[in-house]
Structure 1
Amino acid sequence: MTAQSFPPAVFQSFSETADPKNVAPRLAALRAEMVKAGLDGFLIPRADAHRGESVPPGDARLAYVTGFTGSAGIAVVGTDRAALFVDSRYTLQGPAQTDTTLVDVIETGQGGLSAQIGDYVSVGGRLGYDPWLHTPGEIKDLDAKLGDKITLVASTNLVDAIWPDRPEAPVSSVEFLGHNRAGKIANDKIGDLQATLADDHADAVVLTLPESICWLLNMRGRDVPNTPFVLGFAIVPATGQPTLYLDPAKITPEIKAALQGTAQLVESTGLAADLKQLGSDAKTVMIDPATAPQAIVTALSDAGAKILERRDPVLLPKSRKNQVEVAGMIEAHKRDAVALAKFLHWFDQTAPAGQTTEIDIVTALEAFRREDDTCVDASFDTISGAGPNGAVIHYRVTTKSNRTLQPGEIMLLDSGAQYLSGTTDITRTMSTGSSTAEQRDRFTRVLKGMMSISRARFPQNTSGAQLDVLARQHLWQAGQTYSHGTGHGVGAFLAVHEGPIGISPRYPLPLEAGMILSNEPGFYKAGEYGIRIENLLIVQPSTVGDNYLEFETLTLVPIDTRLIEPTLLDPAEREWLNAYHQRVWSEIGPRLTGEVKDWLKSATSPV
Structure 2
Amino acid sequence: MFQKFTETAQPEQGPKRLTALRAEIRAEGLDGFLVPRADVHQGEYVAPRDERLSWLTGFTGSAGFCAALKDVAGVFIDGRYRVQVKAQVANVYTPVPWPEVSLADWLREHLPEGGRVGFDPWLHTPAQIKELEEALDGSNIEMRRCANLVDRIWHDQPGPPTAPVIAHPLEYAGQAHDAKIGQLAKELSDKGLTSAVLTLPDSICWLLNIRGSDIARNPVAQGFAVLSAEGRVVLYMAAEKLAEVRDTLGTLVEIRAPSQFESDLATLTGPVGVDHATAPLAVVDALEAAGVEQRDLTDPCILPKAHKNATEIEGARAAHRRDGVAMVRFLAWLDAQPAGSLTEIDVVRQLEDERRATNALRDISFETISGAGPHGAIVHYRVTEATNAPVEDGQLLLVDSGGQYQDGTTDITRTMAIGTPGREECEAFTRVLRGMIALSRVRWPAGMAGRDLDVLARVALWEAGLDYGHGTGHGVGSYLSVHEGPARLSRTGTVPLEPGMILSNEPGFYREGAYGIRIENLVVVEEAPALPGGTVPSMLRFETLTYVPIDRRLVLPDMLPPADRDWLNTYHAQCRERLAPLVGEMVRPWLVAATAPL
TM-score normalised by length of structure 1: 0.95
Corresponding residue for residue 551 of structure 1: 542
Corresponding residue for residue 379 of structure 1: 365
Corresponding residue for residue 274 of structure 1: 264
CA distance in 1, matches of 2:481, 2:50: 18
Counterpart residue identity of residue 509, structure 1 = V
- 3-state SS of paired residue (1:539): strand
Corresponding residue for residue 276 of structure 2: 289
Does the 8 A contact of 1:338 with 1:592 survive in 2? yes
| 1:432 to 2:432 alignment | no
Does the 8 A contact of 1:468 with 1:505 survive in 2? yes
Corresponding residue for residue 602 of structure 1: 593
| 1:336 to 2:336 alignment | no
Corresponding residue for residue 298 of structure 1: 285
- 3-state SS of paired residue (2:581): helix
| Cα distance, 1:112 vs structure 2 | 7.3
303, 313, 318: which one pairs with 1:326? 313
19, 26, 31: which one pairs with 2:10? 19
Of the structure 1 ranges 116-125 and 354-363, higher mean CA displacement relative to structure 2 is found in 116-125
CA distance in 2, matches of 1:573, 1:273: 59
After TM superposition, the structure 1 = structure 2 runs for residues 60-139 of structure 1, keeping only pairs within 5 Å, are 60-100=51-91, 102-109=92-99, 113-121=103-111, 123-139=113-129
CA distance in 1, matches of 2:360, 2:173: 16
Does the 8 A contact of 2:185 with 2:231 survive in 1? no
Structure 1: unaligned runs, 5 residues or longer: 1-9
CA distance in 2, matches of 1:136, 1:111: 21
Corresponding residue for residue 171 of structure 1: 162
| Cα distance, 1:34 vs structure 2 | 1.7
CA distance in 2, matches of 1:498, 1:151: 33
Counterpart residue identity of residue 106, structure 2 = Q
Does the 8 A contact of 2:81 with 2:380 survive in 1? yes
Q: Paired residues, what number?
A: 592
CA distance in 2, matches of 1:58, 1:600: 44
Does the 8 A contact of 1:45 with 1:75 survive in 2? yes
| 1:481 to 2:467 alignment | yes
289, 296, 314: which one pairs with 1:309? 296
- 3-state SS of paired residue (2:393): coil
After TM superposition, the structure 1 = structure 2 runs for residues 165-564 of structure 1, keeping only pairs within 5 Å, are 165-252=156-243, 254-278=244-268, 281=269, 283-350=270-337, 352-545=338-531, 547-564=538-555
CA distance in 2, matches of 1:64, 1:144: 30
CA separation of 1:402/1:418 partners in 2, compared to 1, >3 Å: closer, same or farther? same
Can you list the C-alpha shifts for 1:142-172, whole angstroms capped at 9, x where unaligned? 1122224211111111111111110010011
CA distance in 2, matches of 1:440, 1:44: 42
> What's the % identity of the aligned pairs?
48
CA distance in 1, matches of 2:238, 2:130: 30
| Cα distance, 1:114 vs structure 2 | 4.8
Counterpart residue identity of residue 311, structure 2 = V
CA distance in 1, matches of 2:100, 2:471: 11
- 3-state SS of paired residue (1:271): helix
Can you list the C-alpha shifts for 1:166-204, whole angstroms capped at 9, x where unaligned? 001001111112211100011111112112212321111
Does the 8 A contact of 2:213 with 2:220 survive in 1? yes
CA separation of 1:122/1:165 partners in 2, compared to 1, >3 Å: closer, same or farther? farther
TM-score normalised by length of structure 2: 0.97
| 1:55 to 2:51 alignment | no
- 3-state SS of paired residue (1:286): strand
| Cα distance, 1:115 vs structure 2 | 3.0
CA distance in 2, matches of 1:81, 1:509: 37
| Cα distance, 1:111 vs structure 2 | 11
After superposition, the CA RMSD in angstroms is: 1.4
Corresponding residue for residue 4 of structure 1: none
Does the 8 A contact of 2:239 with 2:255 survive in 1? no
- 3-state SS of paired residue (1:376): strand
Can you list the C-alpha shifts for 1:36-79, whole angstroms capped at 9, x where unaligned? 22222111000001111210100000011111111011101112
- 3-state SS of paired residue (1:353): coil
After TM superposition, the structure 1 = structure 2 runs for residues 546-585 of structure 1, keeping only pairs within 5 Å, are 547-585=538-576
